[in-house]
Each structure stands twice: as structure tokens, then as C-alpha cells.
């Protein structure tokens, strides 16, 4: 128990250390919009709310799963929850395993409900837990959804981590079947591939957060903890959020038959941005039967807008918001969220989007690492910009 508690504090300390290292280049910098100087609209006409099928969220970004279970992390959850309650931001907590075995530790999670009784709250568990654990986690938090993280890279590098992933798929299936609220399957910063997303769809998962590489780096976090075997040889392993979105399969993007036909004649795959159109009769606002979320390395509203333009319905933020509450408490996060809301509206207006799904009609360019990824995976990003059904 003691080591699990100190692991939670280690994660916060080391994630925060990464936040203060200063800017680094990521795949978000490899995505550009073609600028059209006469295509803009007014921020007054922008509606930031997003429709996820089962839910409507007031903003296209949310607080992603981080922590809980120790004194320090209970305080962090409290601040995050206060800010979420004040701004309407959906919020997830970190892994609740510790809360299921220890009533004292549970308080570090239930504080979220105390501070935010009516908000949208997601519980969190790792793959490998039982269906009964999932039910108990949901109950403890009166959770609206349950995040289930699949983190094999982190487990590999974690000194006390599991190395046996052979039962994860069947365990996941049990939880999806038994969970009283929708399950959101997520990575923790290494991305969900096309194949993984297809596997998830096959077992009935309807919500996935690709949580890609480029932000909080759990390989480094585990490597930096004492007692770690050195897995730094895996540095750079995994895909970024934008790469995952572009790579997502049609069952997650609602890509139409006509686009697939176009793709087969050009020999390339269509990317996730066709998310907007679930069929010829479906307008850009239509919600696909499965909802793709993105996170990993989101630093500012421009990154949010880029992920939305690549087909995410909403965007999770962990490290950036964690650093804000550590530095400036709940008040600091409230202020930051308000700034992000204003700036996101301004960016929508600049790009001529009244709603997030309108961003799917923007002209995108991919360069550098992201461009090479798209090329290697046979994804034609430019062709998608000219799709008539999203204009």
C-alpha cells in the first residue's frame, strides 16, 4: 500500500517536472491550416458545446484522468473539482484501484463529488481489474462514465508493473458488458492504433481517448523513479494524438461508403476527419455511433482546435491543467479555462467554424514527422479537405 501511495506522489512530481522543462516540438506543430482571409465568422456565432451522443459537454475540452489516493493528490483532485464545478468542465480522476481497498484513500476521490455534485465526472481503472471493481468504482464516485486505461508501455517500464497483457482483452470485454455507465477506453500517452480501435469496436466499446505521445511521458516518469530497470531504449515509442486520429478506422470515424470508394481508387486510406459525416443524409453535426476523443500533449487552445479538426469530438488535458493547479490552485485553473474558452471561440471564428464539427471542412497540411506518418500509413490528408459534405 505504501509503495502504491508513493507512486501516486512520484507521478505528480515527475509529470510536473516535465511541464516545467519548457517548450518542445510535437506533432501538433506539424499540422497547419491553410489560411483563408475571407472565410471567418464571428465569435458570437460560435457554439463551443459538443455532442457526444449520450452527452453534451459545454466545452470541447475536459480534465483528463490523473490522480487521487494520497494527501497531496486529494488536494489536487479537490482543486480540479472546484474548477470543474465552476466552469462546467467534464473531469476524470486517476486510477481508483487504491480506493477500492482502502477507505482512507477513497476520500481522495470522493472529494471530487463533494466539490462537484452535479458535474460530469468520470471514474478511472486500469485494464486487468474485474467487472465488480468497475461497478464499485462507478458507485463510489457516482460516475457518469468510467475511463479504463490500457497502459502496456507504462507497465513495462514501471518497476512494480505487470508484464503479462494476455488477459487484458477479455477482462476489458467483461467490464464493458457489466459496467452500468459507458466505458471510455484510453491510453496514457502512447496512442491507440487503427488495429486497437478496431478491436475495441468489436467488443462494443463506444468511447475511446487515443491519448497519444508528445505530452506527459510515462516512459520517462517510470524510468526516473527509483528502482526502475532502464527502458529508455523505448524513447519515442507510440503514436501522437493527431497521428492516431488520422489513422483511426472507419468504424470510429463514420467514414462514408463513397469516401472509401474514393480511397480505393487512389490507393489511400481516409482519415478520421470524415467523423462529421455518418452517411449521405447525415449532416456535419451527426454523431457517429462511436466517439473518438483525443489527448496527449495538449498545451493550448490551438492544439485543441487541431485535434478537433482531425476528428476528435473532445480533447483531454492532463499535464497542462495539473501544472496550473499546482502553481495557482483552483482559481488559477478557472481563469485558464475561461481564457481557453475565449481563445477557442476566437480560433473557431478565424477558421470559419461555428461548431466544432465545421472544423472538419478546413484545409489541412501535415508536415514533418506527422506528415511522414500519414504517408507511411497511406493516409491522404489533403483529399479530405475538399470533401463537399463537410462544407
Write out the residues near ligand FNR by the rule CB under 6 A: 11-12, 15, 64-67, 94-95, 124, 147, 149, 186, 188-189, 211, 215-216, 295-298, 317-320, 322
CA distances to 276, 346, 348, 353 from 41, in Å: 20, 9, 8, 7
Q: How far is the CB of 256 from ligand FNR (least distance, A)?
A: 30
Residue 147 or 357 with smaller CB distance to ligand FNR: 147
CB-nearest residue to ligand FNR: 215
Q: How far is the CB of 76 from ligand FNR (least distance, A)?
A: 8
In three-state secondary structure terms, 121 is strand
Residue 147 or 256 with smaller CB distance to ligand FNR: 147
Q: How far is the CB of 176 from ligand FNR (least distance, A)?
A: 16
Phi and psi at 236, nearest 5°, equal: 90, 0
Residue 91 or 188 with smaller CB distance to ligand FNR: 188
Q: How far is the CB of 30 from ligand FNR (least distance, A)?
A: 16
Residue 284 or 296 with smaller CB distance to ligand FNR: 296
For residues 303 and 221, the answer to whether their CB atoms sit within 8 Å is: no
Residue 298 or 347 with smaller CB distance to ligand FNR: 298
**Angle formed by the axes of helices 319-350 and 301-309, nearest 10°:** 70
Q: How far is the CB of 380 from ligand FNR (least distance, A)?
A: 28
Q: How far is the CB of 274 from ligand FNR (least distance, A)?
A: 25
Q: Please report, in angstroms and rounded to a whole number, the separation of the first and last CA atoms in the chain.
A: 55
Q: Which residues contact 345 (CB under 8 A, 6 or more apart)?
A: 43, 46, 48
CA distances to 25, 116, 157, 229, 230 from 233, in Å: 20, 42, 10, 11, 8
Distance (Å, rounded) from C-alpha 65 to C-alpha 299?
16
For residues 110 and 137, the answer to whether their CB atoms sit within 8 Å is: no
Q: How far is the CB of 150 from ligand FNR (least distance, A)?
A: 9
Residue 146 or 246 with smaller CB distance to ligand FNR: 146
Residue 219 or 353 with smaller CB distance to ligand FNR: 219
Q: How far is the CB of 387 from ligand FNR (least distance, A)?
A: 29
Classify residue 69 as left (phi > 0), alpha (psi -120 to 50) or beta: left
Residue 98 or 360 with smaller CB distance to ligand FNR: 98
Helix boundaries (H) for the chain: 2-19, 71-87, 97-101, 103-115, 131-141, 152-157, 168-178, 194-202, 218-224, 241-247, 250-253, 257-266, 301-309, 319-350, 368-376, 381-385
Amino acid at each position: 500500500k505504501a509503495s502504491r501511495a508513493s507512486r501516486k506522489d512520484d507521478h505528480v512530481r515527475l509529470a510536473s517536472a516535465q511541464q516545467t522543462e519548457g517548450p518542445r516540438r510535437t506533432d501538433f506543430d506539424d499540422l497547419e491550416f491553410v489560411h483563408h482571409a475571407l472565410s471567418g465568422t464571428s465569435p458570437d456565432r460560435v457554439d463551443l458545446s459538443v455532442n457526444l451522443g449520450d452527452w453534451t459537454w459545454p466545452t470541447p475540452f475536459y480534465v483528463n484522468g490523473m490522480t487521487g489516493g494520497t494527501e497531496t493528490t486529494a488536494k489536487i483532485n479537490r482543486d480540479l473539482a472546484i474548477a470543474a464545478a465552476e466552469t462546467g468542465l467534464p473531469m476524470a480522476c486517476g486510477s481508483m484501484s487504491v480506493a477500492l481497498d482502502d477507505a482512507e484513500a477513497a476520500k481522495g476521490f470522493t472529494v471530487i463529488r463533494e466539490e462537484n455534485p452535479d458535474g460530469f465526472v468520470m471514474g478511472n481503472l486500469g485494464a486487468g481489474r474485474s467487472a465488480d471493481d468497475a461497478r464499485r468504482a462507478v458507485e463510489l464516485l457516482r460516475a457518469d462514465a468510467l475511463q479504463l486505461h490500457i497502459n502496456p508501455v507504462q507497465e513495462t517500464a514501471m518497476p512494480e508493473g505487470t508484464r503479462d497483457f494476455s488477459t487484458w482483452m477479455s477482462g476489458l470485454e467483461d467490464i464493458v458488458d457489466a459496467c452500468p455507465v459507458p466505458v471510455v477506453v484510453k491510453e496514457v500517452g502512447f496512442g491507440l492504433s487503427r488495429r486497437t480501435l478496431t478491436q475495441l469496436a468489436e467488443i462494443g466499446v463506444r468511447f475511446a481517448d487515443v491519448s497519444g505521445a508528445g505530452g506527459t511521458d510515462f516512459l520517462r516518469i517510470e524510468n526516473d523513479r527509483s528502482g526502475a530497470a532502464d527502458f529508455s531504449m523505448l524513447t519515442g515509442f507510440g503514436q501522437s494524438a493527431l497521428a492516431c486520429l488520422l489513422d483511426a478506422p472507419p468504424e470510429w470515424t463514420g467514414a462514408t461508403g463513397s469516401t472509401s470508394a474514393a480511397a480505393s481508387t487512389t490507393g489511400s486510406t481516409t482519415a478520421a476527419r470524415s467523423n462529421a459525416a455518418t452517411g449521405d443524409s447525415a449532416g456535419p453535426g451527426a454523431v457517429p455511433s462511436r466517439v473518438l476523443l483525443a489527448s496527449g500533449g495538449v498545451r493550448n487552445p490551438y492544439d485543441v482546435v487541431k485535434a478537433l479538426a482531425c476528428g476528435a469530438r473532445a480533447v483531454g488535458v492532463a499535464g497542462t491543467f495539473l501544472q496550473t493547479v499546482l502553481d495557482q490552485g483552483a482559481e488559477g485553473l478557472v481563469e485558464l479555462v475561461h481564457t481557453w474558452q475565449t481563445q477557442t471561440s476566437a480560433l473557431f471564428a478565424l477558421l470559419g467554424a461555428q461548431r466544432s464539427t465545421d472544423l472538419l471542412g478546413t484545409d489541412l497540411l501535415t508536415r514533418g514527422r506527422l506528415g511522414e506518418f500519414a504517408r507511411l500509413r497511406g493516409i491522404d490528408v489533403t483529399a479530405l479537405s475538399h470533401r463537399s459534405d463537410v462544407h
